[in-house]
Copies of this chain bind each other. A is one copy, B any other.
Amino acid sequence: MSISLVDLQNFVNSELIPLEPIFLQQGFGAILPKLHELRENVRQRGWWLPPLSRLYGGLGMPLTEFAAISEELGRTPTGHYVFNCQAPDVGNMELLHMHGSADQQARWLMPLAFGDIRSCFAMTEPEHAGSNPVWMDTHAVKDSDDYVINGHKWFTSSADGAAFTIVMAVTNPDAAPHLRASQIIVPLDTPGFKLVRNVKIMGEAGEDWSSHAEVRFEHCRVPQSNRIGGEGAGFALAQDRLGPGRIHHCMRWIGICERALELMCRHAATRELSPGVMLGSRQVVQHWIAESRADINAARLMVMDAAHKIESKGAYAARVEVSTIKYFVAGVLQRTLDHAIQAHGALGITDDIPLSWWYRHERGARIYDGADEVHKNVVARQELKKYGVNFRD
């Protein structure tokens, strides 16, 4: 079953966007009961979990088809949540779908896909730069049939209220750097797991799904069967996960951009500077609109192009394209939001409209899942290889 974009847009406009004022003023918790009702609604419409395989209750939608859906959902902060295709859960689902054991799929993927539980992913460590993903201190040491895990992570998004995390931990310290870590499932009620705090980010600690935790693993003991994939495969699996994850972010960002442009145009079309003189008559505002329209169109075409390549040739073959859109679209996002805020004047910096939320929460877009600088190096080195030089990563 497919999704009509017109129906979807109507749904977002009539059901989700009206929740924004409550979300922006009172926080995620205040709309959570309503979001759960809406999830039922979505399920009944047959719209549940578009990107995941039908085996697990999704729609099995290919990436190029999901792109338009994701853009539409991205127009409001909780769109993806209501369709159960929000990060980091959707990434965990894809990981477990592709690499999980049958037991892991039954125990963790099924309830996740059903929306009964939430999950998180513990990779980033405060002590180490994210630009060097193979350098970490968290260790998992074998002890009889178990792993005993010790470590310190942050930006473990949505840990607050999650049922389990997947943690990146060094299991093979003597292997080559890219082969040292494994990914291991840790239920959050495991003794020794501590959610230290929801890190206050850009003014808000958030709560529940809408939060980013600092966590500690102190002698956390889990069975070795909780390891996903082979020993030392953690980094390879993370790459598998981040590729699609990045394209998911880019698709969502385009939705944010379209919404920001819409807000900017609507304000320009209705705000009077003096009686009868509209904001939109100002040439500088017109140029912001035109530049954002061009930027967004370019971004969408690039994301679709990368999605096509992933579908036809696989994520590995498309990794340079994915790096390219990561920084290109993040830049478009930041410029578009900046224009839209400036066009709104004082209103633009208030939480009466969602621009401020995105401005704050998506400043991270140029940092998370690989900073702009890292992806630019990837792309440049690939270009330079064509001319016979090979600069090491």
The interface of chain A, by Cβ under 8 A from chain B, is: 24-25, 124, 126, 129-132, 135, 154-155, 199-204, 261, 265-266, 268-275, 278-287, 289-291, 293-295, 297-299, 301-302, 305, 324-325, 327-328, 341-342, 345-352, 356-357, 359-360, 363-364, 366-368, 371-373, 375-381, 383-384, 386-389, 391
> For residue A295, which residues in chain B have a CB less than 8 angstroms away from its CB?
328
A281 to B283: give the CA distance in the assembly, Å.
10
In the complex, are the beta carbons of B379 and A346 less than 8 A apart?
no
In the complex, are the beta carbons of B284 and A283 less than 8 A apart?
yes
Leading 9 A-B pairs by shortest Cβ distance: A203-B203, A286-B380, A290-B376, A301-B301, A269-B387, A298-B298, A290-B379, A200-B351, A283-B283
> For residue A372, which residues in chain B have a CB less than 8 angstroms away from its CB?
342
Select from chain B the residue with minimum beta-carbon distance to A267. Answer: B387
> For residue A274, which residues in chain B have a CB less than 8 angstroms away from its CB?
129, 132, 135
A214 to chain B, nearest CB (A): 9
A307 to B305: give the CA distance in the assembly, Å.
16
Known A25-B200, A202-B360, A203-B202; contact A130-B345, beta-carbon cutoff 8 A: yes
In the complex, are the beta carbons of A286 and B129 less than 8 A apart?
no
Copies per complex of this chain: 4
Cross-chain contact of A391 among B199, B203, B280, B359 (Cβ < 8 A): B280
Select from chain B the residue with minimum beta-carbon distance to A270. Answer: B387
A287 to B301: give the CA distance in the assembly, Å.
22
> For residue A203, which residues in chain B have a CB less than 8 angstroms away from its CB?
202-204, 351, 356-357, 360
With most chain B CB atoms within 10 A of its CB, the pick from A130, A280, A348 is A280
With most chain B CB atoms within 10 A of its CB, the pick from A281, A345, A372 is A345
In the complex, are the beta carbons of B126 and A347 less than 8 A apart?
yes
> For residue A376, which residues in chain B have a CB less than 8 angstroms away from its CB?
286-287, 290-291
> For residue A273, which residues in chain B have a CB less than 8 angstroms away from its CB?
129, 131-132
Additional A-B contacts beyond A280-B391, A287-B373, A289-B380 (18; CB < 8 A): A129-B273, A129-B345, A132-B273, A202-B356, A202-B360, A203-B203, A203-B351, A203-B360, A265-B384, A265-B386, A269-B384, A269-B388, A280-B389, A283-B377, A290-B378, A293-B379, A298-B298, A342-B367
A236 to B25: give the CA distance in the assembly, Å.
37
In the complex, are the beta carbons of A268 and B384 less than 8 A apart?
yes
Q: List 24 A-B contacts (CB under 8 A).
A: A25-B200, A129-B279, A131-B273, A132-B273, A155-B346, A200-B352, A201-B349, A202-B351, A203-B351, A265-B386, A265-B387, A268-B387, A269-B389, A287-B373, A287-B377, A289-B383, A289-B384, A290-B377, A290-B383, A294-B327, A294-B379, A301-B305, A342-B366, A349-B367
In the complex, are the beta carbons of B350 and A201 less than 8 A apart?
yes
> For residue A341, which residues in chain B have a CB less than 8 angstroms away from its CB?
363
> For residue A201, which residues in chain B have a CB less than 8 angstroms away from its CB?
349-351, 356
Known A135-B274, A266-B387; contact A293-B351, beta-carbon cutoff 8 A: no
A346 to B155: give the CA distance in the assembly, Å.
8
Select from chain B the residue with minimum beta-carbon distance to A326. Answer: B294
Select from chain B the residue with minimum beta-carbon distance to A347. Answer: B126
A96 to chain B, nearest CB (A): 25
In the complex, are the beta carbons of A302 and B293 less than 8 A apart?
no
In the complex, are the beta carbons of A199 and B352 less than 8 A apart?
yes
A380 to B132: give the CA distance in the assembly, Å.
23
> For residue A342, which residues in chain B have a CB less than 8 angstroms away from its CB?
366-367, 371-373
